[in-house]
Chains A and B, each alone.
Chain A
Amino acid sequence: MVCAGASHGRMMVIAANKEANAQGIHNGMPLADARAIVHELEVFDEKPGRKEKLLEGLARWAIRYTPLSSTDPDGILLDITGCSHLWGGEEAYLKHITSRLQSSGYTIKAAIADTIGTSWALSRYGKGVEIVAPYQQHFALLPLSPAALRIPGEITEKLHKLGLNRIERFIQMPRSTLRRRFGENLLIKIAQAMGDEPEAFIPITIIQEFEERLACMEPIRTAKAIEIAIERLLGKLCLRLKKEGLGLRKAELKGYRIDGKTISTPIGTNRPSDDPIHLMKLFALNISGIAPGMGIELFTLSAEKTEKMERPQEKIWAGQAGLNSQPLAELLDRVAGKVGKNAIHRYLPRADYWPERAVKQAKDLSEDSGISFHNPLNRPIQLLPRPERIEVTAPIPDYPPMLFIYQGVRHSIKKADGPERLERAWWLEEGEHRDYYTVEDEKGNRYWLFRAGHYAAENSAWFIHGFFA
């Protein structure tokens, strides 16, 4: 298996795994050559930035071993000063890291040394030795190839040409000679590897998640105490959100109980909010659902989704704000928190004649479909979820019926409108067309009736579908 990417107009092998290496494929080989060696080569296209992303991910993951973690061109670099004893010494520490990485499928080499340069050299060119004792980096470097000093390829080549193929061969040479022949850079790299020159270490910065923790002195069991805990967490979180100009869309409260169980309570809002009072109300609806068991010892509140928030100007007169008013959004949040989001509906016209499909659900409060309802003047104010069968007396085709019987009550029709023929969308469903009539009975009740199918057809039937105001 290899990773391949374009370089100088042709596909080159960028990285190859162990099996490919064993077959003679190495990095920097044209892909065509590699294919010639191994016919069934599996090739992955290199995406720009993938390596950096992977390394950064690993560096982030390594934060668990040390607070200072960083990436270098093809590896990760950890400053483990004062950390290894927590894993029982450097050996156990290194073993832990390598085995963890190996178990997730990485082939890695690692080394520990006093300086960045030496550990870099050993992890790439070292054989066997993984941990260099303090102040022993000089001896550890001696048997290595000059490339281990992180010097440019042409200088390495020059050194090899002169027979200086191990560091011990030239490290004793006078500095002035080395400088004259190979430049200042080599001297700096040697000094950095030995620890005579300082070298900068730039750790990666972890983006702080919006999470607040509250550890309790004593396990908490009462609703009031939980409320206070949530209030405190919200206060802190909202202050941070406010500083960043963000608002909360989704949050989760987790309580760690002393019996080892974790309970979580999620909340969601319709629009970003950083108002602790409003968010508290959303949590308050769910406090009764929090089972403290033996007691909760730790609360965490994390903002899972945040959004940029437009801070409204303080208004002197709170006018009618329509659908985007803050109180309305807060009300809907509370309702969604109590009875579920699916209970809230807002309808927009849909471009469809069929009554059952005439409306669609709006996704949010600001959506507008831009069209208007089809024939709204002729639609009943109440629509039955399913049309109900009625019995009719209809003497003439294409005329409204004279009377109909619905739920055992006889209505004789005095006025009528129609028919309005609606065809089914054949690409969606099969069935008969409908001929709709608006009718009014002798008492003034108005109904929406239809006949499914043609007048004389065998399967034609009459239904009531709605009530007019």
Chain B
Amino acid sequence: MEQAVKKQVIEGLREQILSMQGYKTVSKSQQNISGLELFAPAFPVHSFPLQGIHEFISESREQTAASSGFISGILSTLMKDGSPCIWISASRKFFPPAAKRFSLNAASIIFIDLQNEKELLWVTEEALKCEGLAAVVSEIPDLNFATSRRFQLVIEKSKVTALFLRENPRILSNTTCLARWKISPLPSILPEGMPGVGQPSWKAELLKVRNGAGGTFEVCWSGSTFEQPQKENIRALPIHELQAG
């Protein structure tokens, strides 16, 4: 009993220290918005932080696709209230019809397709200034500390979530990101004996978490939310032995 009280006090103090360090946690009512609580343990105060930058590092096209899917999953929870999202890119391959799979309304995503990096940074900063957006997704391969600091200052005012998809970054320097993710695809999971390709599954590695422990998750997308895969179901049959009909 006494230990539990002690633990509670220490948790409280930790939270105070974090807020003094400038780490803003979402208000209690918004805490752990449904769908993202799966990842909460990896973050400080057990809550998925939304006011800041999440980076998604990708080293191949397949990882970019997986990251896009993972981002779509996060967006679907953020955009549940109908607020719009802005997707900024210089070489976009995102295919809007697929958004439905992530229970996402493609019509409320505004895509801004740009030519060069300078414009990309400018538009990203302007978008982050805009209040009332669910999130700003930006495909920025390279981001240095100074730029990320600028973004961070803007976000502190507007409280918008920034999700940066970084495909093949040249250098991975320090940034002000809350978390640095790496999403790689995992073999999909099907119930025993079923043919075909199942729901998307990923290995989500948290390479870096500000003030947090980090970790690695194996998740799959159930159609409406992130889920932990049921390991015992994984047993694929070779397709060429399956008979149709």
A residues bordering B, Cβ < 8 Å?
Answer: 318, 320-323, 325, 327-328, 330-332, 334-335, 338-339, 343-349, 355, 358-359, 362, 368, 372-377, 379-385, 395-396, 399-400, 402, 413-417, 438-440, 442-446, 466-469
Contact present for A328 and B107 (CB under 8 Å) = no
Contact present for A343 and B95 (CB under 8 Å) = no
The residues of B that contact A338 with a CB separation of less than 8 Å are: 119, 122-123
What is the bound-complex CA distance between A327 and B112, given in angstroms?
16
Contact present for B107 and A376 (CB under 8 Å) = no
Contact present for B83 and A320 (CB under 8 Å) = yes
User: In whole Å, how far is A393's beta carbon from the nearest beta carbon of chain B?
Assistant: 11
User: In whole Å, how far is B117's beta carbon from the nearest beta carbon of chain A?
Assistant: 13
The residues of A that contact B210 with a CB separation of less than 8 Å are: none
Contact present for B69 and A381 (CB under 8 Å) = yes
Out of B93, B113, B200, B240, name the residue touching A402 (CB < 8 Å).
B240
Contact present for A467 and B65 (CB under 8 Å) = yes
Out of B95, B122, B126, B187, name the residue touching A381 (CB < 8 Å).
B95
- Is the CB of B193 closer than 8 A to any CB of chain A? no
Contact present for B69 and A469 (CB under 8 Å) = yes
The residues of A that contact B119 with a CB separation of less than 8 Å are: 338-339
What is the bound-complex CA distance between A359 and B100, given in angstroms?
13
User: In whole Å, how far is A371's beta carbon from the nearest beta carbon of chain B?
Assistant: 11
Contact present for B82 and A444 (CB under 8 Å) = no
What is the bound-complex CA distance between A347 and B133, given in angstroms?
18
Out of B95, B126, B133, name the residue touching A335 (CB < 8 Å).
B126
User: In whole Å, how far is A353's beta carbon from the nearest beta carbon of chain B?
Assistant: 11
In the complex, which residue of chain B has the Cβ closest to the Cβ of A373? B97
In the complex, which residue of chain A has the Cβ closest to the Cβ of B96? A347
Contact present for B94 and A415 (CB under 8 Å) = no
10 additional contacts (CB under 8 A) given A323-B110, A395-B240:
A322-B84, A345-B113, A358-B96, A375-B97, A377-B101, A380-B65, A381-B94, A446-B200, A469-B68, A469-B72
Contact present for B101 and A343 (CB under 8 Å) = no
What is the bound-complex CA distance between A354 and B5, given in angstroms?
62
Out of B68, B111, B123, B132, name the residue touching A321 (CB < 8 Å).
B132
What is the bound-complex CA distance between A416 and B242, given in angstroms?
11
Contact present for A379 and B133 (CB under 8 Å) = no
- Is the CB of B38 closer than 8 A to any CB of chain A? no
The residues of B that contact A399 with a CB separation of less than 8 Å are: 239-240
Which 5 pairs, one residue from A and one from B, show the smallest C-beta to C-beta distance? A469-B69, A376-B100, A467-B65, A383-B95, A373-B97
In the complex, which residue of chain A has the Cβ closest to the Cβ of B83? A320
User: In whole Å, how far is A433's beta carbon from the nearest beta carbon of chain B?
Assistant: 19
Out of A359, A385, A467, name the residue touching B62 (CB < 8 Å).
A467
In the complex, which residue of chain A has the Cβ closest to the Cβ of B203? A444
In the complex, which residue of chain A has the Cβ closest to the Cβ of B131? A327
What is the bound-complex CA distance between A181 and B44, given in angstroms?
108
The residues of B that contact A440 with a CB separation of less than 8 Å are: 187-188, 197
Contact present for A417 and B197 (CB under 8 Å) = yes
User: In whole Å, how far is A330's beta carbon from the nearest beta carbon of chain B?
Assistant: 8
A/B interface sample: 9 pairs, CB < 8 A: A328-B130, A339-B119, A359-B106, A362-B107, A373-B106, A380-B95, A400-B239, A414-B238, A469-B66
What is the bound-complex CA distance between A446 and B60, given in angstroms?
13
What is the bound-complex CA distance between A221 and B212, given in angstroms?
54
In the complex, which residue of chain A has the Cβ closest to the Cβ of B61? A467
Task: Report if A381-B107 is in contact (Cβ < 8 Å); known contacts: A338-B119, A439-B197.
Answer: no
What is the bound-complex CA distance between A61 and B100, given in angstroms?
59
The proximity string for B residues 59-86 relative to A, scoring 1 for CB distances below 8 Å and 0 otherwise, is: 0011011101110100000000111101
User: In whole Å, how far is A52's beta carbon from the nearest beta carbon of chain B?
Assistant: 48
Interface residues on B, range: 35 or more
In the complex, which residue of chain B has the Cβ closest to the Cβ of A377? B101
The proximity string for B residues 102-146 relative to A, scoring 1 for CB distances below 8 Å and 0 otherwise, is: 100011111111110001001100110111110000000000000
In the complex, which residue of chain B has the Cβ closest to the Cβ of A345? B111
The residues of B that contact A417 with a CB separation of less than 8 Å are: 195-197
- Is the CB of B186 closer than 8 A to any CB of chain A? yes
Task: Report if A413-B110 is in contact (Cβ < 8 Å); known contacts: A338-B122, A379-B101, A445-B185.
Answer: no
The residues of B that contact A335 with a CB separation of less than 8 Å are: 112, 123, 126-127
The residues of A that contact B68 with a CB separation of less than 8 Å are: 381-382, 469
Task: Report if A415-B101 is in contact (Cβ < 8 Å); known contacts: A327-B131, A469-B69.
Answer: no
Contact present for B95 and A382 (CB under 8 Å) = yes
What is the bound-complex CA distance between A462 and B239, given in angstroms?
19
What is the bound-complex CA distance between A334 and B131, given in angstroms?
15
Task: Report if A347-B106 is in contact (Cβ < 8 Å); known contacts: A327-B131, A444-B186, A469-B72.
Answer: yes
What is the bound-complex CA distance between A358 and B96, given in angstroms?
9
Out of B66, B110, B113, B195, name the residue touching A332 (CB < 8 Å).
B110
Contact present for B110 and A416 (CB under 8 Å) = no
In the complex, which residue of chain B has the Cβ closest to the Cβ of A368? B107
Contact present for A444 and B81 (CB under 8 Å) = no
What is the bound-complex CA distance between A381 and B198, given in angstroms?
15
What is the bound-complex CA distance between A339 and B81, given in angstroms?
30
The residues of A that contact B70 with a CB separation of less than 8 Å are: 469
The residues of B that contact A377 with a CB separation of less than 8 Å are: 100-101
What is the bound-complex CA distance between A469 and B84, given in angstroms?
22
Contact present for B93 and A343 (CB under 8 Å) = no
Q: Which of A318, A325, A334, A376 has the most CB of B within 10 A?
A: A376
The residues of B that contact A396 with a CB separation of less than 8 Å are: 240
Contact present for B62 and A381 (CB under 8 Å) = no
User: In whole Å, how far is A54's beta carbon from the nearest beta carbon of chain B?
Assistant: 47
Contact present for A344 and B110 (CB under 8 Å) = yes
What is the bound-complex CA distance between A375 and B101, given in angstroms?
10
Task: Report if A345-B112 is in contact (Cβ < 8 Å); known contacts: A379-B97, A445-B62, A467-B61.
Answer: yes
The proximity string for B residues 198-217 relative to A, scoring 1 for CB distances below 8 Å and 0 otherwise, is: 10111000000000000000
The residues of A that contact B132 with a CB separation of less than 8 Å are: 318, 320-321, 325, 327-328
User: In whole Å, how far is B102's beta carbon from the nearest beta carbon of chain A?
Assistant: 8
What is the bound-complex CA distance between A8 and B195, given in angstroms?
83
What is the bound-complex CA distance between A355 and B93, given in angstroms?
13
Task: Report if A415-B190 is in contact (Cβ < 8 Å); known contacts: A320-B82, A380-B98, A382-B68.
Answer: yes
What is the bound-complex CA distance between A37 and B103, given in angstroms?
78
Q: Which of A322, A362, A368 has the most CB of B within 10 A?
A: A322
What is the bound-complex CA distance between A323 and B72, given in angstroms?
18
- Is the CB of B99 closer than 8 A to any CB of chain A? yes
Contact present for B97 and A446 (CB under 8 Å) = no
User: In whole Å, how far is B90's beta carbon from the nearest beta carbon of chain A?
Assistant: 10
User: In whole Å, how far is B234's beta carbon from the nearest beta carbon of chain A?
Assistant: 11
- Is the CB of B236 closer than 8 A to any CB of chain A? yes
